A = this chain, B = another copy of it.
Amino acid sequence: MPDAVLTEAASEMLDWHGSGMSVMEMSHRGKEFGSIYEEAQADLRALLAVPPNFEILFMQGGGLAENAIVPLNLSQAGPVDFVMTGSWSQKSFKEAGQFCQARLAATSESSGFTSLPPPGSWQLGSDSRYVHVCTNETIHGVEFHALPDLQALGSKAPLVIDFSSHVASRSVDWSKVGLAFGGAQKNLGPAGLTLVVVRQDLLGHAMQHCPSAFNYQRVAENGSMYNTPPTYAIYIAGLVFKWIKAQEENGHTGVAALEQRNKQKAQLLYDCIDRSQLYENRVDVTSRSRMNVPFFLRDASRNEAFLAGANARGLLQLKGHKSVGGMRASIYNAMPLQGVQALVAYMQEFETTKA
C-alpha cells in the first residue's frame, strides 16, 4: 500500500473533507459516500481504459467467491473451458464443477506449471459458455503477458480472466475480454473488495441458484449497492486510484507508468537470478510473472540463513508458498524499484558470503 495513501487515510479518519464523519460512519446512500463511490468508479474506468459497454462492479468475497459467482452468472450450467496454469486456475476449475460442465481445455501441470500452454493447443469446444484463464498465477509465477485472442482461435466464447494479481500493473486489451475479476488486495486496495468488470451483453443470464447479492445484473442495476458495499475499502481503493493516476515514468503516466516500472523491477530481479550460480527460476522465460518471482537456492540447506538475513534487513515475506517451496518475491505496484534493488543487493551479497 503506498505510504501516501495510508497517510491521507489516517489524516481523514475522524473527519472526511470537513463532513464531521469518518468514511466508516457514512451511510452508503448518502451524498458524501456517493461522491467517493462515483470518483472511484470514474478513476478506475479511466485508469484501466474500460470501454463504456462494460460495467464496473464493486463486490465482496474475493477471487475464491468469484470462482462460484462467475459460473452462476455466465455458464447457464453448460460447458465451460478452463486453461489450467497453476494453483488459482486449478481452484477455479474445481469450484466451477459444482455449477457447470467444467472442461479442461489445456494444462501445464506436467511441467509443474512452469510454462503456459500455447493458445493454439487449447481444446476449445464450440459450445463453450466461456473460457477461463488466470492471467497471473501468484504461486507458480507464470503470467500471460498478452491475452489470448479467442476469436482468432475460432472460438466465439467470451474470455473470462482472473486478473486479481496483475490488475493495474499493465494495460488490459478489453477487445479480447468478456469479464475480468479480481480481489483488490494485491494492487488496488485492502482485502474485502472484489472488482468485476463485465461486458453488458453477458448480464442477465444468471442461474436460479445465484444469490441476488452476487447476481451481476442486479449488482449493476443497483450501482454496486444492492447490498451494503464495503464502503471503507472502496474509499481506500479510490485513494490508490488517485495515487496511480499521479504516477509518472519515462513520459508515461498512470497504469502505463506502473507497467514501465514493473517491467524494470522484474527485469532487475530475473537478471540477478539468471546471472547467479546460487539462485534459480524455473519458469519459461516468455511466461515469467512480473508480479511474483519464485526462485530456489540450488543449495537448499542455505534457505533458512537466506530468510533470516533477509528478515534482518526488513526484506519480509520471501518464503515461497508451501506447495512449491523455495522463495518468492512479490513485487506488486506498491513495491518501489528501491525495494527490488535492496533485495538484489542482499541476494548478491548472500551468494558471495561463505555458506
In the complex, how many angstroms separate the beta carbon of A162 from the nearest chain B beta carbon? 13
CB-contacts of A44-66 with B (<8 A) = 60-65
Report how far A311 CA is from B192 CA in the complex, Å.
33
1/0 per residue, CB under 8 A from B, across A1-23: the answer is: 10100110111011000001010
Stretch of A226-234, A288-296, A338-346 with 4 or more beta carbons under 8 angstroms from chain B: A226-234
A230 with B191: CB separation less than 8 A: yes
- Which residues in B have their C-beta under 8 angstroms from that of A13? 6-7, 9-10, 13
Cβ-defined partner of A213 (8 Å) among B68, B209, B230: B68
- Which residues in B have their C-beta under 8 angstroms from that of A22? 1, 6
In the complex, how many angstroms separate the beta carbon of A74 from the nearest chain B beta carbon? 14
Residue A27 lies at the interface, judged by CB distance under 8 Å to chain B: yes
In the complex, how many angstroms separate the beta carbon of A350 from the nearest chain B beta carbon? 21
Known: A191-B28, A193-B192. A209 touches B14 (CB 8 A): no
Known: A6-B14, A61-B60, A213-B68. A231 touches B20 (CB 8 A): no
- Which residues in B have their C-beta under 8 angstroms from that of A211? 61, 65, 67-69, 72, 95, 98, 214
A25 with B10: CB separation less than 8 A: no
Cβ-defined partner of A212 (8 Å) among B68, B72, B214: B68
- Number of chain copies forming the complex: 2
- Which residues in B have their C-beta under 8 angstroms from that of A301? none
- Which residues in B have their C-beta under 8 angstroms from that of A228? 62, 64, 183, 185, 191
Residue A30 lies at the interface, judged by CB distance under 8 Å to chain B: yes
Residue A154 lies at the interface, judged by CB distance under 8 Å to chain B: no
1/0 per residue, CB under 8 A from B, across A216-243: the answer is: 0000000000111111110010000000
- Which residues in B have their C-beta under 8 angstroms from that of A117? none
- Which residues in B have their C-beta under 8 angstroms from that of A276? none
- Which residues in B have their C-beta under 8 angstroms from that of A247? none
B99 with A213: CB separation less than 8 A: no
Residue pairs across A and B with Cβ atoms less than 8 A apart, 5 shown, are A10-B10, A62-B213, A98-B212, A190-B231, A230-B230
Q: Footprint of B on A, CB under 8 Å?
A: 1, 3, 6-7, 9-11, 13-14, 20, 22, 24-25, 27-28, 30, 60-65, 67-69, 72, 95, 98-99, 183, 185, 189-193, 208-209, 211-214, 226-233, 236, 314, 317
Besides A64-B226, A232-B236, 13 other CB < 8 A contacts? A1-B25, A6-B14, A10-B11, A20-B314, A62-B228, A65-B211, A69-B211, A98-B209, A98-B211, A98-B212, A185-B228, A209-B209, A232-B233
